Amino acid sequence: MSDEINSRNTEQERVNHVIHEINKKEEKLYGKSSDLKESVVDLRKNFWEDVKVNLDEPDDVIETQASLKQQAELLSERERFHGKVGEELKTLNRLKGSPYFGRIDFREDSEKQKDQIYIGISSLMDSEEDDFLVYDWRAPISSLYYDYPPGKAAYETIEGTITGEITLKRQFIIRQGMIKGMFDTGVTIVDHLLQQALGNNASTTMKSIVATIQQEQNKIIRNEKSDLLIVQGTAGSGKTSAALQRIAYLLYRYREELNADNVVLFSPNPLFSSYISNVLPELGETNVRQTTFLDYLQEGIGNKFSIESPFEQMEYVLSKSNHEEFNIRMKSMDYKSSPQFKLLIDQFVSHLKDEDIQFKNISFRKQVLISKEQIHDYFYSLDDEIAIPNKMELVSKWLLQELQYHQRMEKDKDWVMEQVELLDKEAFLKAYYKSQNSDEESNVAEEEEILRRAVVKKVFSKMKQLVEAFEFVNVSATYQKLFIDWEPKESPEHWKDICLLTAFDLSRKFLTWEDAAPYLYFQGKLLGAHGDRAVRHLFIDEAQDYSAFQFALIKDLFPYTRMTLLGDINQAIYTNTTKENPLLPKNQNWKHERITLTKSYRSTKQIVEFTKSFAPGQEKIEPFERDGNKPLLVKVENKKSMNETLIGELDKLQDKGYETIALICKTLEESEEIFNLLRNKVSVKQINEETYSFEKGIVVLPVYLAKGIEFDGVIIPDASKNRYTAESDRTLFYTACTRAMHELVMISMDKACMFIEGASPETYTIE
């Protein structure tokens, strides 16, 4: 028997042993879980029987409260322990099919014996809880697997650096408890393993990359020192996957002080949030809070405005160039996305210390209790040295005192008794018992007094809540002043036209996308910024699509939060986002550590070689050695033959067994046109801004909704010069092409767009 076969048999025996240990642990936990479940059910069933309830005397009430608390804590502890057992069972179930994916033999410099270290998605100890059968991939010693070939190696622990030698590095493909592949390697991750992982069809959810993490990705995952980590990664370089593994690593590394509620991820759209939603649960971690920046802004601003989405802004830029105000709107976008506009807002806020803050009347029953003029005069009577948000706090306290006075004045009015009659029986009973004394006549008067107080307290409490939320400040009217009455010392070009356009939008309660971040920033300057102090780590995906102003706002809202920014400057498809973007190495305003991922793992070598020829930026792009067909350009003569070709190419891709095929369009309008063309001919789904998940099959969508997602095959229905006309379309076309894993087809009527024409003829084929 050869050494290779013998070694494989030995490894399979170990897999069998580990699975046997998992089964034993499962059986033990199932028994414990069953006992705990019965215990919890019994506690719930007999909760009140086991509590001593006596409310006759004050001491009895205290004893009853203590008994209730003790019983509730016991129940809570049992339920928590039952939940923990359930999580352990889930982990064991995940390990059973594939207990581990890697092995290293490591001998420390101070030791003679080498240790065999097997690495999987979670740690597993033997039945005696003495030795590790499997090490969690996030454990310090596991970093050896990702960072070193056989030879001298080291890893960091709390005690310090451990040095030694890796004498063996082995990788496994284990499915249903059987070794399907086993490789000894001298590189980070052997090509065989990556080839298999990448050669499969695209999924409708993102795959976990734990088994195939590369050394450069591991630097991202295990980075603990940087307050700001910037990752510039080419399309398909695994930056988002690495970021999700980074979240899992941080939750594991700091599990005593960090939980899922302390981590926030800004994703580009709801579809992408759904696409990545399975990665953390697969690793045994709870999903962190995922939101879009649009939703975050909407939550901060409230429902006072309708806010244009970034996709609506994109559609405007791409399809409304013939509108009368288009050029001014573009100037407005450019300026309001810049740090210069932030400085102008700061100047305006400084002006507001002396005058022009707008307030609202506080009215009750169609009568003004406290006028906006009174509030204005009180605010501006306060010391000029006090910051505006602190002044608002003082005004709020004054208003609450004033409302307390008006509450007492309203108590004896006729409308109160009308409201008293609408109170429920419980309120009357409470008032009756509270009013009991020796004199029956005074009892009735006291009861009415109690009921009146209850009514006005309830009515005024809502007004007080609004005052505490600073609703007496008319933020929108004050913001409008910036564009109507105020004259800045230095104004940008076309400022008056920008002001007219903005004032009109604000008057109809509409915020353009370029105004949303500035408005929230301005609101914070007036009322105080309300960043979430509980957020310890903020992850921003597709960071190249954020403007300089939006980044400034994020830094303002999360001043003490560690951030990880991920993106690709080549895919900066939105207007005014590349200027002063922190993904660019020339930016010196952000103190940071920057990691660049240059190798593309998503697409075949042929697709990468084609797309990198027209990539917008200067970043290096390296293809992974995975062969496939060259991108195909199909030229057609007219609209009818274009439609026939489109259906024919879809059939070809499906015949090859591809399960996810995307028709990626430039705009939503084109997307709808293609969808209507195909809907009665093939099974196709349209993806729009409201789509939260997608299934396998044929989908049609605009390019900006395809960000971060991959497909087996991509068809660009119209790649002609009439569709992609300007240099500004380069990022759009590049992004669309780089969604393809295995096949890229471009259809062109007339002349192909300049990006195809500019590529080397050797990188694609023409039909």
Please tell me the number of Cα atoms within 13 Å of 167 on its side-chain side: 12
pLDDT at residue number 453: 73
Average per-residue pLDDT for the chain: 85
pLDDT at residue number 72: 59
234 is in an annotated binding site: yes
477 is in an annotated binding site: no
Decide: helix, strand or coil at residue 646.
helix
Q: Which residue is listed with tokens 């719930």?
A: 44
* 562-567/228-233 β-pairing: parallel
238 is in an annotated binding site: yes
pLDDT at residue number 66: 58
pLDDT at residue number 53: 46
291 is in an annotated binding site: no
Residue 445 pLDDT more than 70?
A: no
pLDDT at residue number 415: 75
* 510-511/537-540 β-pairing: unpaired
Select the CATH number that applies to the domain covering 212-305+541-547+561-600 from these four: 3.40.640.10, 3.30.70.100, 3.40.190.10, 3.40.50.300: 3.40.50.300
Task: Quick: pLDDT tens for 649-659.
Answer: 999 999 999 99
Domain 605-609+618-766 fold is Rossmann fold (3.40.50)
CA 397 from chain centre, in angstroms, equals: 37
Of the ranges 5-9, 432-436, 492-496, the best mean pLDDT one: 492-496
In the chain, which residues fall in CATH 3.40.50.300? 212-305+541-547+561-600, 605-609+618-766
Going edge to edge, which strands form the sheet with 228-233? Answer: 289-292, 263-267, 537-540, 562-567, 228-233, 593-597
CB-neighbour burial class of residue 697 (10 A; exposed 0-12, middle 13-18, buried 19+) = middle
83 is in an annotated binding site: no
Structure tokens at 212: 């195939």
| Element at 662 (helix H, strand E) | strand 660-665
Residue 475 pLDDT more than 70?
A: yes
235 is in an annotated binding site: yes
Residue 717 pLDDT more than 70?
A: yes
199 is in an annotated binding site: no
Residue 351 and residue 486 in contact, taking contact as beta carbons nearer than 8 Å: yes
Local confidence band at 438 (pLDDT 50, 70, 90 cut-offs)? very low
pLDDT at residue number 619: 80
567 is in an annotated binding site: no
Residue 632 pLDDT more than 50?
A: yes
Least confident of 137-146, 574-583, 712-721: 574-583
pLDDT at residue number 24: 87
Q: What 8-state DSSP symbol labels residue 2?
A: -
- The residue among 443 and 583 whose pLDDT is bigger is 583
